[in-house]
Amino acid sequence: MAETLKPAAPGVGDTQEALEKQIATLRNEVTEINKMLAKRTVGVLHQARERASDLYDDASKTAAGAAKQVGTQLQAVSEVARKNPGTTATVLGGVGIVGFLLGVAVGLTLADTRRRWY
């Protein structure tokens, strides 16, 4: 006949039930902790997204202002160049000659003449 299993010692069944209850309680607590972490993570991600959006908006406004300022300055320079073409050609030619001479000087400075075979 089928016999029911009897605990090996008195109180073992009670201990097992108590452990199972503690395990169930711990599982519930872990589930609650996971839910809290998920909520906080969503909140942190939302804040980060808002900050990134604000930074992008600020950078966009700053870049637009800088582009407008550069456009204004370029327009002023081009207007002066149109009014004074001779002066503009002289200045640009002088800048070109100075740049060429600086390039030659740097090239000669960096050239290693000690290793030439001729």
CA–CA gap between residue 20 and residue 28 (Å, rounded) = 12
- In a domain, residue 27? The reply is yes
* Mean pLDDT (the chain, rounded): 86
Residue 7 maps to a domain: no
Number of domains in the chain: 1
Using alpha carbons, select from 70, 69, 89 the residue that is nearest to residue 81. 89
Helix (H) or strand (E) holding 24: helix 12-83
pTM over 0.85: no
Tell me whether residue 46 is in a domain: yes
Q: Which domain holds residue 70?
A: 14-80
pLDDT of residue 116: 61
For the chain, what is the radius of gyration of the CA atoms?
40
Q: Is residue 106 part of a domain?
A: no
Q: Per residue in 5-48, pLDDT tens?
A: 555 555 677 888 889 999 999 999 999 999 999 888 988 888 99
39 vs 42: CA distance, rounded Å: 5
